[in-house]
Amino acid sequence: MSEIQGIFAAAITPLREDYSPDLEAIPEYLDFLAGRGCHGALLLGTTGEGPSFSTNQRIEIFNSGIRVREKWPEFKLLAGTSTPSLDETVKLTKAAFDLGMDGTVVLPPYYFRSSGDIGLLDWFNHVMFKSVPESGNFLVYHIPAVSGVGISINLLENLLESNPNKFSGLKDSSGDPEFSQRLGDRFRDEIIVLTGSDRLFSHALNQHAAGCITALANLISPDLRSLWEDFRLNNSTELTQNQINQVREICEQFQPFPPLIKLLIYQFFDFPLWPVCPPLENISKDTADRISTMLNLT
């Protein structure tokens, strides 16, 4: 469990003009992230447009991403394997571990949104029983504003009790500092918590979080890594956190993040301008020019 810590980028997914994954570009992009201080990456999360791809495409993307280890053998890879289908989630999760992923990050089933903790516990337990090896890292993805399904402290306790060698923790993208504190108060270091909020990074670390998985790690991973290192050395993180917050405040004006991140890595880091998969929309030239005047990324 201790190996899943630090700075993880919620990686974008390079696409071709026909919206198929650019499999050759994926390890090259992950190489860029590793070289800028990321400890690892989440493939096919929200920023990676995970639900937009078929099961076969997602497995191809995982297989392509593994190639980054030819240069960066310690680079950690997490796989987004979420679908509303129990069977498809099992297949994707098993495939991710079979390919050598270090863990999976899994949303609750996001169609039947009124499901309670008993049904969610049964669903997650079934996925883990069918697809996760002993000592595998299975993380739940808590992003209620998008999924419409919240993850309770009680559910996490029950998952830990029923799957102590498979359930590892969660990605907390609630953006709720009170929930972050409750996680720290209840679990401390019993589970892995990776915050999805750049703005709450320092706060989450103080609540025993193991690190972060964020969209902005595609852009400002050196700043996030600097904050992480300062925290571990008991140095002040306030200045760096303020700098991160400034970038976040600008970027939040141009959500959703997938087209924004793809535009900015094109503008500032000389990658191709990869499209996003519909129904997401690419950013217009006028908006792109406006963003460029507001940000200075290096």
List the one residue out of 78, 91, 60 whose CA is nearest residue 11: 78
The 10s digit of each residue's pLDDT in 193-214 is 999 999 999 999 999 999 999 9
> How confident is residue 297, by pLDDT bands cut at 50, 70 and 90?
confident
- For 44-75, the pLDDT digits (tens) are 999 999 999 999 999 999 999 999 999 999 99
pLDDT confidence of residue 2: 56
Residue 37 has pLDDT above 70, yes or no: yes
* pLDDT band with cut points at 50, 70 and 90 for residue 1: very low
User: What's residue 173's pLDDT?
Assistant: 96
Q: Please give the pLDDT value at position 285.
A: 82
Is residue 149 scored above 70 in pLDDT? yes
The pLDDT, as a whole number, for residue 12 is 98
Domains of the chain by range and CATH? 6-233 (3.20.20.70)
Contacts of 143 by beta carbon, 8 Å cutoff, 6+ apart: 46, 107, 171, 173, 174, 196
| Residue 218 scores a pLDDT above 50 | yes
Q: What is the pTM of this model?
A: 0.95
Question: Which positions are catalytic?
Answer: 46, 111, 141, 171
Tens of pLDDT along 271-294?
A: 999 999 999 999 988 888 888 889
DSSP for 179-241 reads: HHHHHHHHHTTSSEEEE--STTHHHHHHTT--EEEETTHHHHHHHHHHHHHHHHTT---HHHH
**42: which strand partners?**
10, 78
How confident is the model at residue 298, as a pLDDT? 66
Distance CA 242, CA 82 (A): 33
HEC profile of 1-57: CCCCCEEEEECCCCECCCCCECCCHHHHHHHHHHHCCCCEEEECCCCCCHHHCCHHH
Note the pLDDT tens digit of each residue in 74-115: 999 999 999 999 999 999 999 999 999 999 999 999 888 888
Work out the average pLDDT over 220-233: 97
